Amino acid sequence: MSLSPRFLALLAAEGIEALRVLDVGCGTGRLTLWLAPRVKHVVGVDRDSAAIQEARRLASAMRLSNVEFHEVDVEREEYGRWQPDLVTAHLCVSDAIIERAGRALAPGQCLAMVAIHVEQWKETGRVSRFAYDEARIEGALRIHGFAPEVIEVEREVTRFASVEEGLAAAVGLEDRWRVDGRWFRYIAFLEEGGRTLTRAHLIVKARRS
Ligand SMILES: C[S@@+](CC[C@H](N)C(=O)[O-])C[C@H]1O[C@@H](n2cnc3c(N)ncnc32)[C@H](O)[C@@H]1O
């Protein structure tokens, strides 16, 4: 999945050139490395040491000097030490993360996130424990001191003509879905005549009150 153009446009509209950004749950740095040439400084944090090593390698290959990556549990550690003016979280969103962003940001500063929406892969009959609907994300933001400015669902429903096309649409997901039981529920959905696969994310921008 590529980065959502709508999400990137919302970030750019913040006037980010002079900002210090903290990218929470950065993985291999997909968003962090997009941000680096566009901001003053960016820190990517993730608990996956292999992902952090790969992110560092990519940043070095891109000759970026204003980016750093650290191995951190973002649901346990506080963010203040990086003094962010903006916090981003791309497909790594939880109440604990919103709470920590609320403590690290000053009034007027922004939290921008892409979260899994509850309709993501609804054909598998299982909602991710990281998924939010609009009301729940708004509630979490308000509790932790944010005024939501944008909460939008980006939804993409792929439709197919046959079971085979449905299986092909889920290629790359099978291993993960086999582990948690979603694969067999998806097969049952296809066998019962289901012919869709839904991807759904929440695009969120909120300002610290
Ligand atoms: C779906 S990936 C998204 C990675 C990246 N933001 C991107 O969009 O490519 C979720 C990431 O969140 C990280 N993550 C999940 N829980 C975490 C935690 N408690 N502390 C640090 N990282 C966490 C995972 O290691 C993983 O790299």
- Structural domain total, the chain: 1
Q: Does ligand 1 have an atom closer than 6 angstroms to the CB of 91?
A: yes
Q: Does ligand 1 have an atom closer than 6 angstroms to the CB of 48?
A: yes
Whether 192 is in a domain gets the answer no
CA–centroid distance, 140 to ligand 1, in Å, is 19
Whether 172 is in a domain gets the answer no
Walk along the chain (209 residues) and give the pLDDT tens digit of each residue: 789 999 999 999 999 999 999 999 999 999 999 999 999 999 999 999 999 999 999 999 999 999 999 999 999 999 999 999 999 999 999 999 999 999 999 999 999 999 999 999 999 999 988 899 999 999 999 999 999 999 999 999 999 999 999 999 998 999 999 999 999 999 999 999 999 999 999 999 999 99
Whether 167 is in a domain gets the answer no
Q: How far apart are the first and last CA of the chain?
A: 32
Smallest CA separation from ligand 1 atom 27, residue = 27
Whether 143 is in a domain gets the answer yes
The ligand 1 atom nearest the CA atom of 97: 19
Test site for ligand 1: of 4, 11, 31, 46, most ligand atoms within 8 A of the Cβ:
46
Whether 174 is in a domain gets the answer no
Whether 73 is in a domain gets the answer yes
Whether 83 is in a domain gets the answer yes
Integer angstrom CA distances of residue 182 from 2, 38, 169, 178? 23, 39, 14, 6
Full residue range of the structural domain in which residue 143 is found: 5-118+127-156+200-208
CATH number of the domain bearing residue 75: 3.40.50.150
Tokens of 188: 């049952």
Write down the pTM of the prediction: 0.95
Q: Does ligand 1 have an atom closer than 6 angstroms to the CB of 47?
A: yes
Q: Which helix (H) or strand (E) holds 123?
A: none
The b/e string for 134-152 (b: 16+ C-beta within 10 A; e otherwise) is eeebbebbeebbbebeebb
